[in-house]
A and B are shown apart, each in its own frame.
Chain A
């Protein structure tokens, strides 16, 4: 499967995601189905799916303490250790995980291979490359902020932190474009960042030969899905506005278990909502579950105390190994000849065999 086929498959997968709500709401007017039943079903799949996924990981033990130590271990007092990249205790692990989850510390180390074959032999450089890290960070944080901003639809009354987020996110007080007619409503930084970061992540997947080679439809699909989610959201804000009071009515209905599907919400909203539903139900069964998985990664969440504390393997079983006795029995004669100490003299050997 080459990369074009991979993208085509992902795009084909996107077709129904857009078409189903368009037809379902636009033509068949199944507002309640797409506004209430589908979201509840998706939410249930997400919650149960995530529980299943995480508990399934939890069913397998971590038999060995295998942190990837990315810094100086705890050693003598006169050697400076690196308590974050090579944690000595739980505090260190917590710090390491915080940096990993909140700042993508490992990804920050990323460099780009620069290979040149010169007259004097190959030259290998590891070049500065923070774009992947930057785009990943921008994407994840934008998504988080956007998700939290949406709480203005999910919660009543709107909590203060959402208002603050909105203020900060929209601090530029500019429209979509500096053009009369697109001056309001105010643009959110995270909307733009999300789309930019996603576009970058998609382009690098296509452009960088190695990444192109490893990419599966399952890599393009979430990108397409979130791009569509973002696009419909942005369209809804600037170009195809819907009655957002009614949208909130619907959302609040869902989040208070008094579901309603008010009339008069444009179909674009249902496309947006359906994308989200597909996203969250796809979540636990795809690579997106890295969100939970990272917390369980044994190379990151264990302290490097291997030689201090005994890590217990729950399924540790005794193994048969070649004992010293068997070893000496085989080589006793040579050992005595070479002056090596032995447990039993030459004469005691037959006696021992007789005992057995």
Chain B
């Protein structure tokens, strides 16, 4: 693993591409710290992906099948026929450059091929060569290129430097969405077994054990039990979560990352506490070890793989006989649940239109998919005063909110989390408007790029977000970044630690749980992290 350069080194970024050199013939540099390891044979084979073999992107020989070019060409044709988005986005770009400086990877790296338009041109040039008359006849003059192994490697390099965050598509006058093109491009690379292992591994795990981290059911239970003990220690309350319980009214699905590592675990505890709090008010909810993954790394592999992994949610809901599904805080999970799940694995006619058992509110936004976001659920509770909250317990936090790419640009989920946050903490400051809501910046490690070996890339991609955090840290003293995404919780501590170490990361439901006042709880002296609550410091 390459050493990650120091921030001072990394921030020397030149955004001007070379003056006299075109891009078409410059091969991609596959550089340690930027690229992720290639997918291992066992992980590809586990889910029946083609060309399963161990390979190393840094090697000259990628062990491609002999007819790889034909596979790519047929794969492209197939996708052009299946996705209007792909075909249209290949045709209509005018290269106005509005997207160029909107990508966090371009801002953080200055690599011109990280401009969304350029990344798309890498594919477009081959599209022109293979599928347009002008490209076939005029070649380079018409912006067309042959698909060579060099070009394929270039594709791979830059398709795995895009986090499918869709920020570019907000600014594009035609709505060209680089995420969509990356999705297609990654599907093509997957036809040749060119996934990265940080995606292929979780996919194989998720297929078998139900979650990316490969946590087996008994281990999952252990982890939940550990949370129960932790919660008791802090609050004196013993929560009693259910796992795989048939006949519950609601199935709860959340990313496994929050069960596995800090600070996500505190958010997971937050869920457990909230559910326990609501039990007396009539909440009947179960977790599942089989559908123990909200996230979907299959989405970073191919639509088909995403659909396979996603199918478990409805399958489990059906098996357990629940009425509807509640989903935890997660970014790409919600892109998938919101925009794809019902199309792939619906109609969910075995479920009922979700209604909050506590407030009786009908969730109008989820009548088809029958899956509700826990923030929506909690916001409704707060609106109806069903939670006794003491926001002053979060007074040591000066909070800002990081919109996840997927919930903001793939859903429009902007006000709900803010409403919840403002109910549980007294100090809230927004980052600058160009960096939040629909213009939010990616954490820099999304779409399966949160590996260890590409740390330099992640720090570069995380720079725009971190920079906005630094701004509010300096201006308002913000010391806590809240988010509603498990991936954010997994990766932002690293990138904020790198760029603005004074700011920590929390899930929204961690703050909810800290503010939640239980009947019969002991006097709380610490928050879930074991840090003293405001005013309790001296008593330590």
Contact = CB atoms under 8 A, between A and B. Distances in A.
A and B touching (Cβ–Cβ under 8 A):
yes
Interface of A: 1-6, 9, 53, 56-66, 68-76, 78-82, 85-86, 100, 104, 106-107, 109-113, 115, 117, 121-124, 126, 132, 136, 208-219, 285-287, 289-290, 293-294, 296-300, 304-313, 315-316, 319-324, 327-328, 330-331, 334-335, 337-341
A106 B175 contact: yes
Contacts of A78: 383
A301 to B, nearest CB: 8
B365 A340 contact: no
Interface string B417-430: 00100000000000
Nearest to A62: B84
B308 A320 contact: yes
Interface in B127-164: 132-134, 140-143
B117 interface: yes
B364 A308 contact: yes
Nearest to B89: A297
B92 A293 contact: yes
Interface residues of B, number: 126
B158 to A, nearest CB: 14
A211 B100 contact: yes
B463 A122 contact: yes
10 contacts: A66-B180, A70-B409, A76-B379, A121-B8, A122-B13, A211-B97, A290-B92, A299-B169, A299-B180, A340-B217
A338 B222 contact: yes
A113 B116 CA distance: 14
Contact of A218 (B81, B115, B142, B366): B142
B87 A57 contact: yes
Contact of B342 (A86, A310, A327): A310
A68 B175 contact: yes
B475 interface: no
Contact of A69 (B91, B141, B411, B439): B411
Interface string B87-99: 1100111111110
A75 B416 contact: yes
**Which 6 A/B pairs are nearest by Cβ-Cβ distance?**
A73-B412, A69-B412, A293-B92, A113-B101, A338-B218, A299-B175
Contact of A321 (B82, B315, B415): B315
Interface string B12-40: 11011111111110000000000000000
A1 to B, nearest CB: 4
Given A300-B175, A327-B290, A321 B244 contact: no
Contacts of A62: 83-85
B81 A307 contact: no
A214 B371 contact: no
Contact of A310 (B208, B315, B343): B343
Contact of B15 (A1, A56, A209, A304): A209
A100 B175 CA distance: 9
Nearest to A297: B175
Given A65-B343, A79-B419, A104-B173, A308 B368 contact: yes
A214 B87 contact: no
A298 to B, nearest CB: 5
Contact of A294 (B121, B173, B439): B173
Contacts, number: 332
Contacts of B412: 69-73, 81-82, 85-86, 304
A166 B101 CA distance: 40
Nearest to A9: B141
Nearest to A114: B101
B172 A324 contact: no
A308 B365 contact: yes
A340 B221 contact: yes
B447 to A, nearest CB: 15
A287 B208 contact: no
B49 interface: no
Contacts of B311: 319, 321
B112 interface: yes
A117 B11 contact: yes
B170 interface: yes
A214 B124 CA distance: 12
Interface in B315-352: 315-316, 319, 337-340, 342-344, 346-347
A327 B88 contact: no
B97 A316 contact: no
Given A136-B173, A334-B217, A109 B439 contact: yes
A213 B117 CA distance: 11
Given A63-B343, A214-B115, 8 more contacts: A60-B83, A64-B343, A70-B412, A75-B365, A217-B143, A307-B371, A323-B315, A341-B246
B456 interface: no
Contacts of B91: 53, 57, 287, 289, 293
Contact of A289 (B20, B92, B100): B92
A79 B415 contact: yes
B415 A72 contact: yes
A328 B246 CA distance: 15
B217 A72 contact: no
A148 B93 CA distance: 26
Contacts of A309: 368
A328 B419 CA distance: 40
Given A217-B141, A338-B221, A313 B343 contact: yes
Contacts of B319: 324
Given A132-B98, A310-B347, A340 B243 contact: yes
Contacts of A337: 218
Interface in B398-424: 408-416, 419
A69 B15 CA distance: 28
Nearest to B120: A214
A338 B226 CA distance: 13
B289 interface: yes
B312 interface: yes
B416 A64 contact: no
B42 interface: no
A109 to B, nearest CB: 5
A41 B132 CA distance: 21
Given A68-B409, A310-B347, A341-B245, A214 B173 contact: no
A340 B316 CA distance: 15
B487 interface: no
A286 B380 CA distance: 50
Contacts of B143: 216-218
Contacts of A110: 98, 171
A135 B318 CA distance: 56
A74 B338 CA distance: 13
B385 to A, nearest CB: 13
B339 A70 contact: no
B339 A209 contact: no
Nearest to B206: A322
Contact of B17 (A69, A104, A209): A209
B463 A1 contact: no
